[in-house]
Amino acid sequence: MTPLKAAIGDAIAAAYAVAGLRVRAAGCRVLMYHAIGGAVAGDTQQLYSLAPDLFARHVGMLKRHAVVSLSEGVARGEGLAVTFDDGYRDNLTVAAPLLVEADVPFTVFVVPTFVESGEPQYLSRSEVVSLSRLPGVTIGAHGYSHARLTACDDGALARELADSRAWLEDLLSTPVTTMSYPHGAVDDRVAAAAAAAGFTIAACSRFGSHRTGGDCYRVPRTDIWSFDGARRLQRKIAGRWDWMAWR
Ligand SMILES: [Zn+2]
């Protein structure tokens, strides 16, 4: 995705709206953020780090919606939920103060090997604990090493899932039952393994919304990009970018 392609996407979103084709906005919409201001390794298109002032504008919009926790949204099949992948330090230092102030709950999916790497862009162990103690914050798993789970053999798959959960539960002394799939990679075997590992909710990266009775091991999410202004965010929340699921 590039700013130019996104502009074309806006036109498609508008056409969908005009045609009345789009808006199946019903269900729980889950937004997927990554970093807020910090570096994202391998992000060659610079999609995944939002400028802090832009994120502050997003929070201003989110405040006007009924934002719920991921587990509540999935259980009810409605509402808007906010998630962050990979466990960037700026989730604690930049995003959390804005979200807590706005009373917006959110989930951060943390990768143990990223934490243990000591790389400055990622949360440290003590920072994961600090984040978990803030009001409205849920910590979820995101694999043990961020491996593409669909490419793991059965043994490695089971270890990635079980070890990610055990590492977080040991650190936080609380049950960890939600996760998101690294790279959004999921198939029937991976989804079954996530259930077997004790997770009750697993989010993927396919656009859409989760309706009552939907697959809790393929909860759709709406990808948020660094150049998404308030207007595009509003369109994404309204479901007008869900055609991306079929691209
Ligand atoms: Zn990730």
pLDDT digits (tens, 9 = 90+) for 120-155: 999 999 999 999 999 999 999 999 999 999 999 999
The pLDDT of 14-42, averaged and rounded, is 81
Average pLDDT, the chain: 94
Ligand 1 centroid vs 109 CA: distance in angstroms? 8
pLDDT given at position 25: 60
Total domains present in the chain: 1
Q: Would you say residue 247 has pLDDT above 80?
A: no
Q: Which residue has the tokens 């914050």?
A: 137
CB 239 within 8 A of CB 78: no
The pLDDT of 26-40, averaged and rounded, is 95
Ligand 1 centroid vs 17 CA: distance in angstroms? 31
The pLDDT of 48-53, averaged and rounded, is 97
- pTM check: above 0.85: yes
Ligand 1 ion local residues (Cβ < 5 A): 85-86, 182
Ligand 1 centroid vs 81 CA: distance in angstroms? 18
pLDDT given at position 209: 96
The pLDDT of 177-190, averaged and rounded, is 98
Q: Would you say residue 171 has pLDDT above 90?
A: yes
pLDDT digits (tens, 9 = 90+) for 58-89: 999 999 998 999 999 999 999 999 999 999 99
pLDDT given at position 26: 86
Residue 246 structure tokens? 């079929």
Ligand 1 centroid vs 19 CA: distance in angstroms? 35
Residue 7: phi, psi to the nearest 5? -65, -40
pLDDT digits (tens, 9 = 90+) for 8-23: 888 777 776 666 554 5
CB 22 within 8 A of CB 242: yes
The pLDDT of 103-119, averaged and rounded, is 98
pLDDT given at position 21: 52
The pLDDT of 150-166, averaged and rounded, is 98
State the CATH number of the domain containing residue 229: 3.20.20.370
Got the DSSP string for the chain? --HHHHHHHHHHHHHHHHHT------SEEEEEE-BSSS--TT-TT--SB--HHHHHHHHHHHTTS-B--HHHHHHHT-EEEEEEEE-BHHIIIIIHHHHHHTT--EEEEE-HHHHHH--TTB--HHHHHHHHTSTTEEEEE--SS---GGGS-HHHHHHHHHHHHHHHHHHHSS---EEE-GGG---HHHHHHHHHTT-SEEE-S-SS-BPTTS-TTSB--EE--TT--HHHHHHHHTTTTGGGGG-
Ligand 1 centroid vs 35 CA: distance in angstroms? 11
pLDDT digits (tens, 9 = 90+) for 198-229: 999 999 999 999 999 999 999 999 999 999 99
User: Domain residues for 87?
Assistant: 3-246
pLDDT given at position 214: 95
pLDDT given at position 10: 82
Ligand 1 centroid vs 20 CA: distance in angstroms? 34
pLDDT given at position 24: 54
